[in-house]
Amino acid sequence: MEAWLGLEIGNSRLHWAWFAGEEIQVTWDTPHLSRLIEQQLAQCKTFADLPQEILSPDLNTSRLSPLASRLLPIYIASVVPSQTALWQAYPEAHVISLDKIPLSGIYSTLGIDRALAVLGAGEAFGFPVLVIDAGTALTFTGADGDRCLVGGAILSGLSLQLQSLGQKTANLPSITTPEILSLPERWAMNTSEAIQSGVIYTLIASIRDFVTAWWEKFPDSQICFKGGDGKLLLEYLRSLHPEFTDRKIMYEPNLTFWGMRSYLQSFQ
Ligand SMILES: Nc1ncnc2c1ncn2[C@@H]1O[C@H](COP(=O)(O)OP(=O)(O)O)[C@@H](O)[C@H]1O
Ligand SMILES: CC(C)(COP(=O)(O)O)[C@@H](O)C(=O)NCCC(=O)O
Ligand SMILES: [K+]
């Protein structure tokens, strides 16, 4: 099986998957790359020449050593043009564009991450399907039983909501997501918890509203969460709304990579 790397470039960080053919071997995340790396990417002749920055510290690199003597193709789904540009110099970079995604009804400025995630989810669990991506932004993206985009919605993600409150007010601290270890008190008695309560309970209420509206349209449809805050938000949704526990709703971090795999298969 041929080896390749999937790279999803989000607004907070890079998400990587090493594929052996159709199987994901390992995934990891790294920070955005600096412009200084462009030169190094241009001169890559083998996997071993790739900058260390793209490998995670906890990635067992010995697993990758069989690949070290070759140059791996990297399939890129990016919503950050300045980060995409850095890869133009890499000889085996393939930027995935919206026009060849095997879904209908797509609008021209739809995020490629959203298109691939809904494609990956639909291929794995069947169409119709709804994807909730809790990344920098939080997005809802649905497709119907004919693999046609139904549409969706975009709002500020969990960290962005917390950060912007801290940045645009004099007295509010910027809370970070690792500080939210459990569901806050709804009726909070201190500033930090009041911020957490406001952001979390309204986010969960919005998600519940979209989920309910989706199931009114497509009652048996699978709903998939992904993204850095997806696991936490699904956990909170379930604990506040136990009636969702037995419904088809799950967390799956690799939807975009599954979408890349389907995209590549559509050319075979
Ligand atoms: N190590 C981490 N670095 C950055 N964000 C993280 C990390 N762990 C969890 N998160 C959460 O993930 C969110 C970003 O989600 P992610 O899916 O990585 O975003 P994007 O795909 O937009 O780059 C942040 O808002 C943050 O709350
Ligand atoms: C909505 C997004 C910013 C989400 O990006 P992310 O939070 O995953 O970094 C991205 O999908 C995007 O730039 N979309 C383009 C607009 C659209 O999808 O309609
Ligand atoms: K994303």
Three-class DSSP category at 241: coil
Mean pLDDT of the chain: 94
User: Under the phi-then-psi rule, with left for phi > 0, alpha for psi from -120 to 50, and beta for the rest, what region is 253?
Assistant: alpha
Axis-axis angle for helices 112-125, 255-265 (nearest 10): 80
The pLDDT value recorded for residue 36 is 87
Which of 154, 160, 225 to probe ligand 2 with, by most ligand atoms within 8 A of CB?
154
- Structural domains of the chain, with CATH: 3-95 (3.30.420), 127-253 (3.30.420.40)
Closest ligand 2 atom number to CA of residue 79: 13
Query: Who contacts 234 (Cβ-Cβ below 8 Å, separation ≥6)?
Result: 225, 249, 250, 251
- The tokens 């799956």 sit on which residue? 252
Three-class DSSP category at 31: coil
From the list 151, 83, 80, 144, the residue with the least C-alpha distance to 113 is 80
ipTM, 2 dp: 0.98
CA atoms within 13 A on the CB side of 211: 24
The Cα 150–Cα 163 span in angstroms is 31
pLDDT digit string (tens) for 189-240?
A: 999 999 999 999 999 999 999 999 999 999 999 999 999 999 999 999 999 9
pLDDT band at 179 (very low <50, low <70, confident <90, very high): confident
The Cα 41–Cα 171 span in angstroms is 44
Examine the pLDDT at 67 and tell me if it is beyond 80.
no
The angle at the Cα of 155, spanning 176 to 224, to the nearest 5 degrees, equals 90
The pLDDT value recorded for residue 180 is 83
Examine the pLDDT at 65 and tell me if it is beyond 80.
no
The Cα 92–Cα 35 span in angstroms is 18
Determine the straight-line distance between the first and last CA of the chain, rounded to whole angstroms: 14
**Overall average pLDDT of the 42-53 stretch:** 85
The pLDDT value recorded for residue 136 is 98
- Under a CB-based contact definition with an 8 Å cutoff, are residues 103 and 149 in contact? yes
The pLDDT value recorded for residue 214 is 98
**Overall average pLDDT of the 95-117 stretch:** 97
- Under a CB-based contact definition with an 8 Å cutoff, are residues 149 and 107 in contact? yes
The Cα 192–Cα 101 span in angstroms is 43
- Residue 186 among known ligand-binding residues: no
The Cα 262–Cα 268 span in angstroms is 10
**Overall average pLDDT of the 109-120 stretch:** 98
The pLDDT value recorded for residue 1 is 63
In the chain, the percentage of residues whose pLDDT exceeds 70 is 97
The Cα 192–Cα 214 span in angstroms is 33
pLDDT band at 254 (very low <50, low <70, confident <90, very high): very high
Closest ligand 2 atom number to CA of residue 141: 18
Alpha carbon distances (Å) from 117 to 67, 124, 125, 222: 27, 11, 12, 13
Strand partners, 142: 130, 151
Decide whether any atom of ligand 2 lies within 6 Å of the 228 Cβ: no
Lowest mean per-residue pLDDT among 73-87, 100-114, 177-191: 177-191
| Ligand 1 residue neighbourhood (C-beta within 6 Å) | 10-13, 135-136, 157-159, 177, 227-229
- Under a CB-based contact definition with an 8 Å cutoff, are residues 96 and 190 in contact? no
